[in-house]
C-alpha cells in the first residue's frame, strides 16, 4: 500500500512538471503571437513598413552624428552606446506613436548603410561609444559634411521628409517642364556615365531656338532655383551649360564614336562660369568686383563662382559671365557693399541703371 502511494505521488509530480512545461511553452507562444499581432498592427502596410524603418535609420544617423546633444539638454561627455541610442529614440517617439520593439537591428542597418557608401568615414563602436571615425584616406573629421555619402543620404532624408509633408522643396518645377522627367534624368545619367554625345533643341532667353549637337554632358547642376546641364561642346571646343527646362527633343548617340574630352573639374569650371545665361556666339565678360574683407566670407558662402584675390582691406572677386546683367543684378542685392571696378563699360551700365532708378523715385 505504501508503495502505491509513493508511485501515485511520483506520477502526480511528473504530471505537474509536464503541465508547468506545457504552460511555459503556451505562454511563450502566446507572447510571440501578441508580438506578431503588435508588429502587424504597426506595420500592416508594407510601404509604411519600409518608410518607417528607413526614417528610423536616419534618426539613428542623426543621433550618432550629434552624439544626441539635442536630446540630452546639451549634456557633454555622454557615452553613446546602443542602449543610449535606444533611450534617445524613445524620446523622439511619444507614447501615442507606435514604437519598434527592438531598435538593435535598425541601428546595425543604419550603420551598414553609411559604411557601405562612404569612402572616407566609418561608423564604429569603440570604448568611448558609437560615432563617426575617419578612415586613412580622410584628412580630417571636420570634412564629414562634404563626404559624398553623407550629402547623398542627406538628400534622401530630405526627400523622405518631403513625402511625409514636413519639408517644402521647390526645385522640382524646372524638372517637371520636361515631358518625362524621370526618363530624362535616366538618359542624361547614362550619357554622363558613358561619355555619350547628345543632341537637343534649345530655346535661349531671347526665345531663339537652335539645335545643339555633339554635346557631351558631364554634370547636372542646381543653382539659385535653376537646373543646368553642363558639358563639353565638341563643335566649339569648350565647356558650356544649358538650362534643362529649355531642352527639348533630346537624342543620345549610343553608337557614335566617343569624343576625347578634357577632364572635368567642377571647382575649375565654377571659376569661369557666373550665372545661368548661355548666349551662343556672344563674348564672355571678365568682371572685377571689389568686396570689403568683412563681407568676403558671406559672399563666398553664397556664391562659389569666380576667383578671389585678398588685399589689405578688401578682396577682388573676378567673375566671368555671358550676360553682365546677371552680375549687375547680383551686386544690387548687396545694398552697396560690392562695387564693380572693371571693365568700365559694365561699371557704366551699372551706374546708368542706378541713376534711372534714383530718377524714378525722385519723381
Do the domain assignments include residue 279? Answer: no
Per-residue pLDDT at 256: 85
Do the domain assignments include residue 276? Answer: no
- CA R_g for the chain: 31
Per-residue pLDDT at 346: 92
Per-residue pLDDT at 11: 47
Domain that holds residue 5: 1-35
- The verdict on pTM exceeding 0.75 is no
DSSP assignments along 57-90, one per residue: HHHHHHHHHHTTGGGTTT--S--B-HHHHHHHHH
Do the domain assignments include residue 278? Answer: no
> Domain check: are 106 and 153 in the same one?
yes
Count how many domains the chain has. Answer: 4
Question: Which CATH number characterizes residue 236's domain?
Answer: 2.30.30.100
pLDDT in tens, the chain (363 residues): 555 454 544 444 555 555 555 565 556 555 555 444 444 443 444 445 578 888 889 999 999 888 888 887 655 556 788 888 888 888 887 655 556 667 888 888 899 999 999 988 888 876 567 888 887 665 566 788 888 999 999 999 999 999 989 998 888 888 888 999 999 999 999 999 999 999 999 988 778 888 999 999 999 988 878 899 999 999 888 888 898 989 999 999 988 888 889 999 888 887 777 766 665 556 788 999 999 999 888 888 887 788 899 888 899 999 888 888 888 888 988 888 899 999 999 999 999 998 888 888 886
Instruction: Report residue 84 as a C-alpha cell.
Output: 543610449
Do the domain assignments include residue 106? Answer: yes
Instruction: Report residue 24 as a C-alpha cell.
Output: 511555459
Do the domain assignments include residue 169? Answer: no
Per-residue pLDDT at 250: 93
Q: For residue 41, what are the contacts with CB-CB under 8 A and spacing of at least 6?
A: 98
Instruction: Report residue 118 as a C-alpha cell.
Output: 562612404
Per-residue pLDDT at 38: 46
Do the domain assignments include residue 277? Answer: no
Amino acid at each position: 500500500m505504501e508503495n502505491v502511494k509513493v508511485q501515485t505521488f511520483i506520477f502526480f509530480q511528473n504530471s505537474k512538471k509536464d503541465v508547468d512545461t506545457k504552460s511555459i511553452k503556451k505562454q511563450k507562444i502566446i507572447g510571440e503571437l501578441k508580438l506578431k499581432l503588435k508588429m502587424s498592427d504597426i506595420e500592416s502596410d508594407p510601404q509604411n513598413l519600409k518608410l518607417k524603418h528607413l526614417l528610423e535609420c536616419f534618426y539613428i544617423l542623426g543621433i550618432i552624428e550629434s552624439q544626441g546633444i539635442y536630446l540630452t539638454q546639451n549634456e557633454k561627455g555622454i557615452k553613446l552606446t546602443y542602449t543610449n541610442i535606444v533611450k534617445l529614440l524613445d524620446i523622439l517617439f511619444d507614447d501615442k506613436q507606435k514604437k519598434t520593439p527592438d531598435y538593435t537591428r535598425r541601428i546595425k542597418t543604419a550603420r551598414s548603410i553609411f559604411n557601405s557608401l562612404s569612402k572616407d568615414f566609418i561608423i564604429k563602436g569603440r570604448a568611448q561609444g558609437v560615432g563617426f571615425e575617419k578612415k586613412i584616406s580622410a584628412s580630417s573629421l571636420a570634412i564629414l559634411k562634404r563626404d559624398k555619402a553623407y550629402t547623398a543620404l542627406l538628400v534622401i532624408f530630405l526627400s523622405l521628409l518631403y513625402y511625409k509633408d514636413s519639408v517644402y522643396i521647390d526645385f522640382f518645377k524646372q524638372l517637371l517642364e520636361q515631358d518625362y522627367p524621370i526618363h530624362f534624368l535616366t538618359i542624361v545619367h547614362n550619357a554622363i556615365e558613358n561619355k555619350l554625345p547628345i543632341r537637343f533643341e534649345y530655346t535661349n532667353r531671347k526665345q531663339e531656338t537652335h539645335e545643339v549637337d555633339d554635346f557631351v554632358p558631364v554634370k547636372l547642376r542646381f543653382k539659385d532655383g535653376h537646373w543646368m546641364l553642363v558639358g563639353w561642346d565638341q563643335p566649339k571646343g569648350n565647356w558650356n551649360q544649358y538650362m534643362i527646362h529649355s531642352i527639348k527633343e533630346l537624342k543620345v548617340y549610343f553608337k557614335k564614336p566617343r569624343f576625347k574630352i578634357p577632364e572635368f573639374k567642377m571647382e575649375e569650371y565654377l571659376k569661369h562660369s557666373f550665372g545661368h545665361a548661355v548666349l551662343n556666339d556672344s563674348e564672355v565678360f571678365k568682371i572685377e568686383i571689389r568686396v570689403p574683407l568683412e563681407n568676403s566670407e558671406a559672399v563666398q558662402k553664397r556664391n562659389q563662382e569666380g576667383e578671389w584675390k585678398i588685399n589689405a582691406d578688401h578682396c577682388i572677386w573676378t567673375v566671368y559671365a555671358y550676360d553682365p546683367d546677371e552680375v549687375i543684378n547680383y551686386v544690387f542685392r548687396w545694398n552697396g557693399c560690392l562695387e564693380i571696378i572693371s571693365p568700365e563699360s559694365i561699371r557704366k551700365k551699372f551706374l546708368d541703371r542706378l541713376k534711372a532708378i534714383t530718377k524714378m523715385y525722385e519723381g
